[in-house]
Amino acid sequence: MMLLDFQQTYAHVTFGLSIFSNSLLLSLLIFRRDKNLGSYKYLMFAFSFLGLFFSIVDFSNKPMVHIYGGAYLVFSLNSFGLPHFLANWFNALNCSCYGMTISLLAVHFIYRYLAVCRPNQMNWFMWPHTIVWFIFCSEISFEWWITAVLYAGETRVIDELVKDSMKTNYNLTKGEFIYAASLYYRTNEKGEKTISWPDVLFAVNIVKLITICMTIVLFCGIATFRKLRTLRHTSKRTTTLQQQLFKALVTQTVIPVLTMFLPAAVMMISPLFEVTLGSYEGLIMTVITTYPCVDPMVVIFFVRDFRHAIWQTIRCKRCLYSRETYSLRGTAVSFITEPN
């Protein structure tokens, strides 16, 4: 019960921090004169709105993890009192948010790659070509959601398996929580342990989607890094902003890997070896729910104009919502790479 209370309390804290940090970034994007960011501004809008949506879904579900007997459960208490099938669909939105986050991250790196390495192809981020990226992110997000609903739904076998452990660890009985789960091994009528292929396919699908997005990130990231080191025909200020935003993107890659995908990997791999984590299982969702409130602070920290605007506001020298631009050297620059 202490573990349950801690995770519920922590969900309130991270929700508040996420609303604050994402709203702060949105305010900077809306009220600062940042035409120099070009269409990249809209990608940052997308990330910020996703962070808000992610935190709202996470706060509404307050998902927790339980690993026992070769199975993992992502469960919640259905605080809205929704009908059972709707509550399970809503719980699966957490998976959808994970998929949207990693796909949008890949699109960010594609943008940086084109802006630095192939500026003549930047029309891919202008209307109507932008619909391609919307479809890409939406398809991956929906695929994560539908596979969670179809292949990770509740079953009687899992109900019986975790009944006693859920009562012991969380003082919860069937009907007091809903869950999405995977059980990699099942026992047939002969008492033989066999592989549960629907659960395996669910895991393979997740690995496939992560691999596609992370391959894009690595390819575009390495190519962009190499190009930035050899830029000679752009202004110093343009190169400076390119480097600032690239550092932000690298950090935005490391953070979700550490706070989302590594914990999720531990959650999914542990049942393969029938390993239980005890009280440490509470750290999985604790770490994952940290992501939406940390991510926007990365952009604010690395983009000097945003950082300076906040510092000036703190010192009461200028309103955060002022539309005046700063004449800081190396910040008020065109985001689109100058032609060679």
- The rounded distance, in Å, linking the Cα atoms of 278 and 257 is 23
Which residue in 340, 256, 334, 309 sits closest to 51, CA to CA? 256
- The rounded distance, in Å, linking the Cα atoms of 112 and 248 is 11
Q: What does pLDDT average to over the chain?
A: 80
Using the CB atoms, write b or e for 244-260: b if 16+ within 10 Å.
bbbebbbbbbebbbebb
Please report the domains of the chain, with CATH numbers, ordered by start residue: 1-315 (1.20.1070.10)
> Above 60 in pLDDT, residue 12?
yes
> Above 50 in pLDDT, residue 334?
no
Q: Which residue has the higher pLDDT, 338 or 56?
A: 56
Q: Which pLDDT value is given to residue 340?
A: 39
- The rounded distance, in Å, linking the Cα atoms of 18 and 294 is 7
Which residues are within 8 A (CB) of 61 and not within 5 positions of it... i.e. 6 or more apart? 76, 90, 91, 93, 94
- The rounded distance, in Å, linking the Cα atoms of 240 and 228 is 10
- The rounded distance, in Å, linking the Cα atoms of 337 and 36 is 11
**pLDDT category, 234, cuts 50, 70, 90?**
low
Which residues are within 8 A (CB) of 338 and not within 5 positions of it... i.e. 6 or more apart? 119, 233, 234, 235, 238
Angle between helices 2-31 and 304-314 (to 10 degrees): 100
pLDDT digits (tens, 9 = 90+) for 240-256: 666 666 676 677 678 87
- The rounded distance, in Å, linking the Cα atoms of 212 and 220 is 12
Give the dihedral sign, CA 85/96/56/255: positive
Average pLDDT over residues 273-287: 84
**pLDDT category, 325, cuts 50, 70, 90?**
very low
The pTM for the full model equals: 0.78
pLDDT digits (tens, 9 = 90+) for 134-159: 999 999 899 889 988 888 888 888 99
Lowest mean pLDDT among 46-50, 230-234, 296-300: 230-234
Most confident of 131-145, 182-196, 210-224, 246-260: 131-145
Amino acid at 321: Y
Angle between helices 2-31 and 291-302 (to 10 degrees): 30
Q: Which pLDDT value is given to residue 142?
A: 92
